[in-house]
């Protein structure tokens, strides 16, 4: 079973701090990784995508991918209370039409 694993949290960070969310995957054939944000009672929305080793930045968000260590992370700088949500990591499975999702990490940004 190809797996994507995340710590369920909650991860609690104060407002203005950096939140670091981590994800590991078991399928060495996975090429592309996605981070989705899901607010309570809502559907997931795509916030970041990465397929190359290294960092990818978009505003306050930075995705990091290390294929040798099979590790993906999402950094959120200057965390805001509105960032409080569950963050889902997903990787492709070698079949381009399918993603495997992690169970998600719940982030709480405190005032």
# of chain residues touching other proteins (CB under 8 A): 20
Query: How do 11-14 and 105-110 pair as beta strands?
Result: parallel
Q: What are the residues facing 19 on neighbouring strands?
A: 76
Q: Which is nearer to other proteins, 75 or 88 (CB)?
A: 88
Please list every residue from 49 through 78 that binds other proteins, using CB under 8 A: 49
Q: Which of 32, 60, 70, 108 binds other proteins (CB under 8 A)?
A: 32
Among 46, 54, 77, 81, the residue binding other proteins under the rule CB under 8 A is 46
Helix (H, G, I), strand (E, B) or coil at 8: coil
The minimum distance between CB 25 and other proteins, in angstroms, equals 13
CA distances from 95 to 4, 53, 111 (A): 15, 20, 42
Contact 49, 33 (CB under 8 A): yes
Contact positions vs other proteins (CB under 8 A): 8, 32, 34, 42-46, 49, 88, 90, 92, 96-99, 101-104
């Amino acid at each position: 079973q190809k797996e994507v694993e995340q710590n369920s949290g909650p991860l609690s960070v104060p407002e203005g701090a950096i939140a670091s969310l981590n994800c590991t995957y078991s399928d060495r054939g996975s090429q592309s990784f996605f981070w989705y944000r899901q607010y309570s009672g809502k559907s997931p929305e795509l916030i970041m995508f990465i397929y190359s080793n290294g960092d990818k930045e978009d505003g306050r968000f930075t995705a990091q991918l290390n294929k040798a260590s099979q590790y993906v992370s999402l950094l959120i700088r200057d965390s805001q209370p509105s960032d409080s949500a569950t963050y889902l990591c997903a990787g492709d499975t070698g079949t381009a039409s399918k993603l495997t999702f992690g169970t998600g990490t719940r982030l709480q940004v405190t005032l």
